[in-house]
Structure 1
Amino acid sequence: MSNSFFRFKKFTIQQDRCAMKVCTDSCILGAWTAGRLQGAARVLDIGTGTGLLPLMLAQKTGATLDTIESDPEAVVQAGENIRQSPWAGRIRLLAGDVRTYPFTSFYDFIIANPPFFESDLRSPVDKKN
């Protein structure tokens, strides 16, 4: 069983209510992306899950971040993680489906870490698919 939390140096991710837990690929993606965002003022994270990627990006950049999630339990958990962080004032959590959400902003950069397999290697947990 996964831990119910994942502790970083400057923030902690609670993940007991999210289908997708903190994993190596999400940490690498966040670190790699943060190094390439210099000058990006507005960033959108699609499918935030726990809120890990916007927290990593807020820690390393001065960007303002919008993050969207469609799973109600993940929205609650991401909101808690964001509010507990030192960067809560720069991260706005949106609840909804990115395909139909009425965005009113333009973004300099968009990031997503979706499941990598659509029809193969399906999980018995529907939220992971």
Structure 2
Amino acid sequence: MGKHLKTKQAKPERTGLAAGLNKGFIVTRRELPPKPSHYKGRISERKKLIREVIREVAGFAPYERRMIELLKIGSAATFKRALKLAKKRLGTHRRGKKKRDEMAEAVAAMRRKG
């Protein structure tokens, strides 16, 4: 959930020359700690547990139950319909896709359970 975390690519070493692709004075690179902004969107174990408990106690919202029914049918048309419903309720395409995936995971969990 959240931002896509970028993987850091190693930059090539400087040549020490004044011209060229990797021009510049040779220095030893410092290992910098990750920025706090890079943690945005990452869910802690505590938050995950709290959300799980709330979901267990409160259940699904009416529109989520409707989405689950659409996803249980399992056709491409109902998959799209579920996205349209989520998009209408949540406001954006990205949020809709995320909610649809969440509900699809819930359906899969129900099927695994029995």
TM over 0.5: no
The alignment's TM-score, normalised by the length of structure 1, stands at 0.23
Q: If each structure's helix is expressed as a fraction of its own residues, which one has the higher value?
A: 2
Larger relative contact order (Cα-Cα within 8 Å, sequence gap ≥ 6) = 1
TM-score (norm. length: structure 2) = 0.25
Instruction: Give the structure with higher Rg (CA).
Output: 2
Structure in which a larger fraction of residues adopt strand = 1
